[in-house]
Structure 1
């Protein structure tokens, strides 16, 4: 009798357990045992563990990484467009240069003999040699005339609250904020800009409340030009740009009608947004507050009827509450003082009659 014994080969390891779910997907997670004496493992960047959906079960993924929102781009300003003081001279220097040019022209005319005798006698000049108008005289005329034009042509008057933005061949050369008489290079292009504290009252602009109802808002903006170079050269028209910033802010911030108690919050939000948008172009905004808020023409009639209905319902509710309180107080006093003894039927009838009487009285009083 032979017995057959089956031996498992030593090279084969223990058999892997069968999967309980045939279509499940698994993820291997490496585990590092602290008590094992091994060299430091190489750090491998791991992706976030995301369990995919199981085929045929309709199960959704358990984890999804949210996509971060991209920040709004910040407008970049040319580093060269930063306000800096321009080089100017006192006005006396221009007056002196112009006077020297005029004196040079007069002396050249006397030298060439072109002055009338009456002028010579009035000025007390000696009789000239009458050298005539030669090349030397013409050169002297040109030099003296250029000096006179250059001196008088560069005179400018600076005013308080105004500034000059200077440019030469399309390049920014500085800003003049000085007041009084001064001399500016006449070759420079001058652009006057107002740097005073200013306020702007807008016309009705489109807006919306927290519920999305169309409104029209009139806002008051208090602002001034802080950097003249950016305001004048960075954009085409800084006042138009400020208006556009206000319109964008009204489209983003909900505005409430007067009496809601949220006007201050809307004003702070509008000021913050407009100031952030206008700062890169050299405009400093101090406050943006709604002055008048009303419904847009297309929804004004419907919202007016809705508001009247809400006020009427509120009035009716207040009248009914007052009538019920009066009836309850009357019935309670009558029963507590022992003036009447009422059963349930009589109590209901009395409450009904009192309610009708009080409602009729309130209706006559309101009419």
Structure 2
């Protein structure tokens, strides 16, 4: 049986016969754009292939196929938040510098110091034995070691023995190094990074490697006053305390020319991008400024192997060009606050006086007389506070 596709009209006209009655009983479709496909009933329950069924006329089932809905409209982007310190870490990671991915700290191959000491002693002993063999020992040494095995002088064999023993001694003693807590060595061989030594005590390092000492302790520095601005754009001068350390010695030494200078530049750039709490701001605003500066500086210097623990503003003051104007503004605000508190105190005193006189029955005043009394008491109290300097 073949499958056909048909469209059901919205309105089925009346017709005679059983087929017309069945068609008229079908409900009108709700979706005007839907399409229908006729599937034979025996195919809906068919599990395995079988012989072709007998020709039986069955009413085909109707399965509706709804068209693919259009893509939902993208939600509108939320309005941009004006808070300056929001998403600072995300923006900082997006603009963070990139360094060579192959430059990454890894431990170098070193030996205990006793190995170098033994190699050096063996080399020195070999040189002494070779000199005794060649008969070139000093007189005092010859008496200690006894007569030499030969007096032919330094021949090719003796020179080869001297070279081998001397090289062994120099190689053993020349590779001795003392590892200290909080210090590390970055090793290079012909310009190629060979690893980092963070061990302590007596160690033996290949003397052919170039060593660069790096301080990995927790360090801090207090910078000079740097330019900044508050939320209102008023110019400020800020002195900060930066606590930092070297986390990846390879990147800090080989990935950048001067990591300390780069750190100072990143802190100065962070001060220009983060609004600093103005002088006299609360502890919450100061803490928010510190957190934002720390996140931004840490994101900038992280790829070069540095770790910033804290960037704390120590001293915040207005820039010289706006210091006088801001001082007058603060004085005016303090004076307005003082006046508001003084007026509030006078009003409270007048209200308390009038209430007490009325409750005790000492005065029986109407509204006009009450207003006159309140006015006189207010003038008297204000004059009294002015004379006492309150």
Into which bin does the TM-score normalised by the smaller protein fall?
Answer: 0.7 to 0.9
2:187 match? 166
Deviation at 1:325, TM superposition (A): 1.8
Unaligned runs of 5+ in 1: 1-30, 49-63
Deviation at 1:344, TM superposition (A): 5.1
**SS class of match (2:184):** strand
Is the 1:202–1:218 Cα contact (8 Å) retained in structure 2? yes
2:35 match? 35
Is the 1:258–1:293 Cα contact (8 Å) retained in structure 2? no
1:88 match? 110
Unaligned runs of 5+ in 2: 1-30, 38-64, 81-89
Cα distance in 2, alignment partners of residues 148 and 135 from structure 1: 20
1:267 and 2:290 correspond = yes
Deviation at 1:84, TM superposition (A): 0.8
2:245 match? 224
Residue correspondence of structure 1 range 1-367 to structure 2 within 5 A: 33-35=33-35, 72-121=94-143, 123-256=144-277, 257-261=279-283, 262-343=285-366, 346-366=369-389
Deviation at 1:65, TM superposition (A): 11
Cα distance in 2, alignment partners of residues 114 and 304 from structure 1: 89
Q: Root-mean-square deviation (CA), in Å? A: 3.1
Task: Give TM-score scaled by structure 2 length.
Answer: 0.73
Cα distance in 2, alignment partners of residues 321 and 361 from structure 1: 15
Deviation at 1:110, TM superposition (A): 2.4
Cα distance in 1, alignment partners of residues 388 and 158 from structure 2: 106
Cα distance in 2, alignment partners of residues 361 and 120 from structure 1: 114
Shift in alpha-carbon separation, 1:32–1:238, aligned structure 2, 3 A: farther
Deviation at 1:264, TM superposition (A): 1.3
Following TM superposition, where does structure 1 have runs of at least 4 consecutive aligned residues deviating by more than 6 angstroms? none
Cα distance in 2, alignment partners of residues 258 and 205 from structure 1: 18
Cα distance in 2, alignment partners of residues 274 and 73 from structure 1: 12
Cα distance in 2, alignment partners of residues 113 and 32 from structure 1: 117
Shift in alpha-carbon separation, 1:194–1:32, aligned structure 2, 3 A: farther
CA offsets 1:83-117 (integer angstroms, 9 cap, x no match): 11101111111111111222222222223332221
The number of residues matched between the two structures is 320
Cα distance in 2, alignment partners of residues 36 and 135 from structure 1: 105
CA offsets 1:119-175 (integer angstroms, 9 cap, x no match): 211x33324532123333333222222221111111000011111110111111001
**SS class of match (1:156):** strand
Does 327-336 or 311-320 show the bigger shift?
Answer: 327-336
Deviation at 1:315, TM superposition (A): 0.5
